[in-house]
Structure 1
Amino acid sequence: MNHLLYGLATNAALPPELLDRLVAVADDDIAAGLAGRTDLGRARANALASRVEESAVRLAYAGRLTAADVDPRVRPDAALALLDEGAGAPEWAFLLVTDPLVERREKLAACPGLPPEVVETLAADGDVRVVAELASRAAPSVAAALAAHPHAEVRRAVAANERTPPAVLAALLTGEGLPPARWCPVCEREETPFVHEPQCPRPDCDLLPGASCDGSHESTVHEIRRTALENPATPADAVVRFADHPSVLLRRSLAARPGLPAEVYGRLAADPVPGIRADLAGNPAIDTVLMRALADDRDHGVRRGLAHNPRVPLDLLVRLAATTKLGAALPPRVATAGPAEAAELARSKDPAVRVLVARRRDLPAGVRDALAADPDAKVLASVASHPGLSEARLRSLVDRHGVRVAAEVAANPDAPPALLEDLSRHEPPARKALRAIARHRNATGTALLGCLTDPRARPLAAGHPALPPHVVADLLTDADRQVGEAAAANPSLPTAVMADLLRRPGPS
C-alpha cells in the first residue's frame, strides 16, 4: 500500500486536475480513499470503477455510482450493493437470484423490498445460508413458513427476526406444533453423536466450540431458544417458564427483558449467577423495591449495573456511588437529572457523587462554575472540558492541579489558542494534553509543533490544518507511516508537493 497516495486520496484540498491524475493511477487501496470523496463526481466514479473493479461496491454504497451506471451482468456485486441500499433496479433481483455464487444469493436475501417471486425462490434455495439470511429479516408470513424448515439453523434465524409472529416465536421456544428439524450445522457434516472440542485442530472448521448433536440438534435448539428469549416480539407468557432453566445463558436472556411479571424478576434476583443479577439490576422494568434489594448485593457488578439503570432512584444512586466503582460512563439517571437535582448532586459531601454530575456537558452555568471551584482534583478533571468555562477558570485549574487536569482542560472546546500553546509547553510535559491539543480546532501552529514531540500525538498533529505547510511537507518522509499518511491528507499540504507526490509515488 502506498500510504502517501492513500492519504492524498482523502485530502479535501486536492485540486481537480490532481484528483483526475490520482484516479488514473489508483489501485485498490487508493480507490478506497477516493470512494468517500464528495467531489468525485459520476465521471470519475465510473473511471475509477473501470480501473479498479473491486472499488465499484464501495462506490455504490457511497452513492457515487447509480443504477444507470451499473450493469448487473458485468458488476453483480455493485448491483447487490445498490439493491441493499434500496437504489437498484427491482428487475435485477430476478437475474441475481440464480447467480451460481452462494455468497451473492445470500447477499441478495438480505436486500430490502425484493419481489415476492424472488423471495419464494430464495426460500427454496438449496444452500441453508441463503435461506437463513432471508429468514432473519423476512416478512411475517414468510418467517412463519420458514419456522418449519427442516434445517435448525433456518429456525434459529426465524427466532431472531422481530417480524416473526409472536405465536410462531412461542412455538420455536417449545417446539410444539412444529415438525422436528432434520439437520443442524453439526449433524450435516459430522457423524453423530458429536461434540465439537473447544480447541479444534482443523483450520477450515467453523463449528462453534461445544457445538453438539446426538440426533436432537441440542446445541442449535439451545441457540434457537436463547435467540427467541432475546427477541422482544416473543410473548412474555412463553418466556417466563425459562426463569428456572438449568442453562445460565437462557436465564440470562430473561434478565434484561421488559414486561415480565414482578414474581419472575424476583426469582432472577435470587439467581446464584452474578451476571444474571447484574443484567437484571440494569433492567428499567424492575420496580423500586427490587432495586433497593439489589443495592445490597455483595457483587460489585450487580451494584454497578443498578447504578446505570435509567430508573434508579437518585438517593439510591448516591448511596451506590459511595461504595461502588461506576466506571467512566455517565449514569443515565445523572444525565436526565433536572436542574434542581443536578444542583443537589453538585452540593453532595461525597466527591464521588460530585464527579458523576461533573461529567455532564449541559449543566447550568452556576452549577458548572461551582464544580470548577471544587477542592477535589477528580471533580475538576471531570468538569474541565465542560463548554462555557472561561479562560481564567481553565488556567486556574491548571495552576492548581497541573498535569492531573491538563488533558481535560486541553479537550475543552472553548480553550483559547494561547492556553493551548501554554499547555503544549507545560513542565512536566502533559502527554495526554498534547493528544487533546492535536485534535483541537483552536490549536495553533506553535501548539502543534509541541505536539509533534509525543509519538501518539504526532500523527494527529500531522493532519491538523493549522500546522505550518513546510512542516507538513517535511512529515511526508516521517519514519512513522501513520504520520506520513496524515500529512498527505492535510489540506495545508502545498499543491506543488501534492503534484510531486503524484510524479514520484514514493514508498509503498
Structure 2
Amino acid sequence: MNHLLYGLAANTALSSELVDRLIAVADEDIAVNLVGRADLSHAQAVALFSRVEERGVPLAYQGLLTPADVDPAAQPLVALAMLDEQTGRPEWARLLATSPVLAHRKKLAACPGLPADVVEALVADPDVCVVAELAWWATPDVAATLAGHPHAEVRLTVAANEATPPDVLAALITGEGLPAARRCLVCDRETTPFVHEPDCPWPDCELRPGASCDGSHESTTHDIQRAALHNPATPTEAVVGFADHPSLLLRWALADRPDLPPEVCARLAADPAPGVRADLAENPAIDDALIRTLADDHDHDVRRGLAHNPRVPLDVLTRLAGALRIGAALLPRIAAASPAEVRQLAQSPNPDARVLVAQRRDLPPEIRDALACDADAKVVKSVAPHPGLSEARLRAMVDRFGVQVLTRVATNPDASPALLEDLTRHERAARRAFREIARHPKATAQALLACLTDPRARHLAAGHPALPPPVIVGLLDDADGQVVEAAAANPSLPPAVAADLVHRLGALPSE
C-alpha cells in the first residue's frame, strides 16, 4: 500500500483536480478512501468505477451511480446493489433471476420491491438456499405461502421473518395445519439417520453444528421453533408453553420476549441455566417482586442483566451498582429517571448512586456542578465529560484527583485549549489522556506536539488540523505508515505539498 496516496485520497481539503488525478491512478486500496469522500461527484464516481470496478458496489449504495452507468450482464454485483437500493431497473431483476451464479440469485432474493414475476421465479428456484433467502425477506403473503414449502430450511427462514403473519408463525411452532416437510439440509446431503459433528473439521461444510436428521428433520424443526420464539410477531399464546421445554435453547429464546405473562416469567426465573435467568433479568416484562428476587441471584450475569433493565427500582439498582462493575455506561433506568429521581440520586449518601446519575449528560447546571465538587473521585470521574462545566471546575477536578480523572476531563467538549495544554504537562499524565487530547477539536499545536511523543496517540495527532503545517509535512516521512496516512489526510497539509506529492508519485504528468 502507498500510505501517502491512501491518506491523500481521504484529505477533505484536496482540490477536485487532484481528486481527478488520484482517480486516474487509483488501485483497490486508494479507491477505498476515494469512495468515502463526501464531495465525490457523479462524474468522478463513474471514472472511479471504470478504473476500479470492485468499488462499484459501495458507489451504488451511496447513490453515486445511475442505471445508465451499469451493465447488469457485465457488472451483476453493482446491478444487485442498485436493486437492493431500489434504484435499479426491473429488467435487471428478470435477467439476474436466471443467472447461472447461485450467489447472484441469492442476493437478488434479498432485494426489496421485486416484480411479481421475479418473485415467482425465485420461489421456483432449483436451489433451496435461494428460496430460503427469499422467505427471510418476503412480504406477508409470500411468507405465508412458503410456510408450507416441502423443504424445512425454507420454513426456518419464514419463521425468522417478522413480516410472516402471526397465525402462520404459530402453525410453524406446532406444525399443525401445515403439510409435513419432506426434506432438510441434512438428508439432502447425508444418508439418515445422521448426526453432524459439533466440531466439524471440514472448513467448507455447510451443515450447522450438531445438525441431525432421522427422517423427521428434528434439528431443523428445533431451529424453526427457536426462530419463531425469537420473532416478536409470534403470538404470545403460541410461545408460553416453552417455559418448561427440555431444550435450553428454546427456553433461552423465550426469556427476552417483552410479552411474557407473570407466571411464565416466574418459571423462567427458577431456570437452572444462568443465561436464561440473565436474559429474563433484563426483560422489562418482569415485575418488581421478581426483580427483587433476581437481585439476590448468585450469578453475576443475572445481576448485571437486572442493572440494564429499564424498570429496575432505583434502590435495587444502586445496591447492584455497588457490587457490579458497571463502567462508564448510562443505564436505561437512569436515562429515564424523572427530575425528582435525578435530584434524589445526586443527593444520595451512597456514592454508587451518585456515580450512576453522573453518567447523564443532560443534568441541570446546579446538579452537574455539585457532582463536579463531589468528595468521591469515582463521581467526579463520571461527571467530568459533562458539557457546560467551567474551566475552573475542570481544573479543580484535576487538582484534587489528578490522574484518576485526567483522561475523562480531556474528553470534555468544553475543555479550553489552555487546559488541554496543561493536561499534557501534568506530572502524572495518564498516557490514555494523550489520545483523547489528540482527538479534541480544541487541542492546540502545543498540546498536539506533546501527543506526538506517545506511540498510541501519534497517528491521531498527525491528523489533527491544528497541527502546524511544517510538522505535518515532516510526518509524511514517518516510519509508521498509520502516521503517514493521517498526515497526508490532514486538511491543513499545504495544498502545494499535496500537489507535489501527487506529482512525484506519478499521479500528475510531468510539466
How high is the TM-score relative to the length of structure 1? Answer: 0.97
CA separation of 1:163/1:464 partners in 2, compared to 1, >3 Å: closer, same or farther?
same
Counterparts of 1:17 and 1:325, CA distance in 2: 53
- Structure 1 residue identity aligned to 2:244: D
Aligned to 1:468: 468
After superposing the two structures, state which structure 1 stretch, 424-433 or 368-377, moved more.
424-433
Aligned to 1:356: 356
* Deviation at residue 125 of structure 1 after TM alignment: 0.7
Aligned to 2:129: 129
Aligned to 2:306: 306
After superposing the two structures, state which structure 1 stretch, 270-279 or 387-396, moved more.
270-279
Give 3-state SS (helix, strand or coil) of 2:329's partner: coil
* Deviation at residue 424 of structure 1 after TM alignment: 1.3
Contact 1:32–1:58 at 8 Å: present in 2 too?
no
Aligned to 2:433: 433
* Deviation at residue 325 of structure 1 after TM alignment: 3.2
* Deviation at residue 208 of structure 1 after TM alignment: 2.7
Aligned to 1:284: 284
Aligned to 1:229: 229
| 5+ residue gaps, structure 2 | 507-511
**Residue deviations 1:133-157 (CA, integer Å, cap 9, x gap):** 1100101111011111122111110
* Deviation at residue 499 of structure 1 after TM alignment: 2.0
CA separation of 1:128/1:87 partners in 2, compared to 1, >3 Å: closer, same or farther?
same
Pairs aligned (count) = 506
Aligned to 2:509: none
Residue 198 (1) aligns with residue 204 (2) = no
Aligned to 1:268: 268
* Deviation at residue 120 of structure 1 after TM alignment: 0.7
Aligned to 1:59: 59
Contact 1:423–1:430 at 8 Å: present in 2 too?
no
Contact 2:281–2:302 at 8 Å: present in 1 too?
yes
Contact 1:172–1:224 at 8 Å: present in 2 too?
yes
Contact 2:435–2:457 at 8 Å: present in 1 too?
yes
* Deviation at residue 30 of structure 1 after TM alignment: 1.2
Aligned to 1:480: 480
**Residue deviations 1:433-473 (CA, integer Å, cap 9, x gap):** 10100110100111011111111111111111111111112
Counterparts of 1:234 and 1:257, CA distance in 2: 10
Contact 1:97–1:121 at 8 Å: present in 2 too?
yes
Residue 160 (1) aligns with residue 160 (2) = yes
After superposing the two structures, state which structure 1 stretch, 74-83 or 242-251, moved more.
74-83
* Deviation at residue 493 of structure 1 after TM alignment: 1.2
Counterparts of 2:164 and 2:27, CA distance in 1: 44
User: Percent of counterpart pairs with the same letter?
Assistant: 70
- Structure 1 residue identity aligned to 2:214: D
Counterparts of 1:3 and 1:200, CA distance in 2: 41
Counterparts of 1:301 and 1:42, CA distance in 2: 51
**Residue deviations 1:179-205 (CA, integer Å, cap 9, x gap):** 222222222222322222233222322
Contact 1:242–1:251 at 8 Å: present in 2 too?
yes
After superposing the two structures, state which structure 1 stretch, 63-72 or 453-462, moved more.
63-72
Aligned to 2:73: 73
Contact 2:328–2:382 at 8 Å: present in 1 too?
no
**Residue deviations 1:35-62 (CA, integer Å, cap 9, x gap):** 1222221111111111111111121111
Aligned to 2:250: 250
Contact 2:406–2:429 at 8 Å: present in 1 too?
no
* Deviation at residue 66 of structure 1 after TM alignment: 1.6
Aligned to 2:112: 112
* Deviation at residue 300 of structure 1 after TM alignment: 2.1
Counterparts of 1:299 and 1:32, CA distance in 2: 46
Aligned to 2:23: 23
Counterparts of 1:411 and 1:129, CA distance in 2: 48
Residue 293 (1) aligns with residue 289 (2) = no
Contact 2:183–2:217 at 8 Å: present in 1 too?
yes
Contact 1:2–1:505 at 8 Å: present in 2 too?
no
| 5+ residue gaps, structure 1 | none
- Structure 2 residue identity aligned to 1:231: N
Contact 2:255–2:276 at 8 Å: present in 1 too?
yes
Residue 459 (1) aligns with residue 459 (2) = yes
Aligned to 1:220: 220
Give 3-state SS (helix, strand or coil) of 1:454's partner: coil
Counterparts of 2:186 and 2:280, CA distance in 1: 33
Counterparts of 1:267 and 1:181, CA distance in 2: 32
Aligned to 1:442: 442
Counterparts of 1:379 and 1:291, CA distance in 2: 26
- Structure 2 residue identity aligned to 1:391: E
* Deviation at residue 370 of structure 1 after TM alignment: 0.7
* Deviation at residue 95 of structure 1 after TM alignment: 1.5
* Deviation at residue 4 of structure 1 after TM alignment: 2.1
- Structure 1 residue identity aligned to 2:77: D
- Structure 2 residue identity aligned to 1:219: S
Give 3-state SS (helix, strand or coil) of 1:477's partner: coil
* Deviation at residue 245 of structure 1 after TM alignment: 0.6
Aligned to 1:88: 88
Give 3-state SS (helix, strand or coil) of 1:54's partner: helix
After superposing the two structures, state which structure 1 stretch, 26-35 or 63-72, moved more.
63-72
Give 3-state SS (helix, strand or coil) of 1:178's partner: coil
Give 3-state SS (helix, strand or coil) of 1:187's partner: helix
* Deviation at residue 87 of structure 1 after TM alignment: 1.4
Contact 1:372–1:380 at 8 Å: present in 2 too?
yes
CA separation of 1:207/1:497 partners in 2, compared to 1, >3 Å: closer, same or farther?
farther
Contact 1:310–1:333 at 8 Å: present in 2 too?
yes
After superposing the two structures, state which structure 1 stretch, 409-418 or 234-243, moved more.
234-243
- Structure 1 residue identity aligned to 2:450: G
Give 3-state SS (helix, strand or coil) of 2:53's partner: coil
* Deviation at residue 322 of structure 1 after TM alignment: 3.0
Counterparts of 2:79 and 2:299, CA distance in 1: 53
* Deviation at residue 293 of structure 1 after TM alignment: 1.9
Aligned to 1:373: 373
Counterparts of 1:203 and 1:279, CA distance in 2: 32
How high is the TM-score relative to the length of structure 2? Answer: 0.96
Counterparts of 2:170 and 2:47, CA distance in 1: 53
CA separation of 1:497/1:206 partners in 2, compared to 1, >3 Å: closer, same or farther?
farther
Residue 208 (1) aligns with residue 208 (2) = yes
**Residue deviations 1:275-303 (CA, integer Å, cap 9, x gap):** 11111111111122221222222222212
* Deviation at residue 425 of structure 1 after TM alignment: 1.7
- Structure 1 residue identity aligned to 2:362: D
Counterparts of 1:500 and 1:158, CA distance in 2: 58
**Residue deviations 1:69-93 (CA, integer Å, cap 9, x gap):** 2232332221111111121222321
Contact 1:97–1:122 at 8 Å: present in 2 too?
yes
Counterparts of 2:293 and 2:57, CA distance in 1: 54
Contact 1:5–1:30 at 8 Å: present in 2 too?
yes
Contact 1:212–1:219 at 8 Å: present in 2 too?
yes
Give 3-state SS (helix, strand or coil) of 2:188's partner: coil
Counterparts of 1:53 and 1:150, CA distance in 2: 40
Counterparts of 2:426 and 2:190, CA distance in 1: 65
Aligned residue runs from structure 1 range 416-427, under 5 A: 416-427=416-427
After superposing the two structures, state which structure 1 stretch, 326-335 or 153-162, moved more.
326-335
Counterparts of 1:44 and 1:278, CA distance in 2: 52
* Deviation at residue 105 of structure 1 after TM alignment: 1.0
Counterparts of 1:306 and 1:505, CA distance in 2: 58
- Structure 1 residue identity aligned to 2:204: D
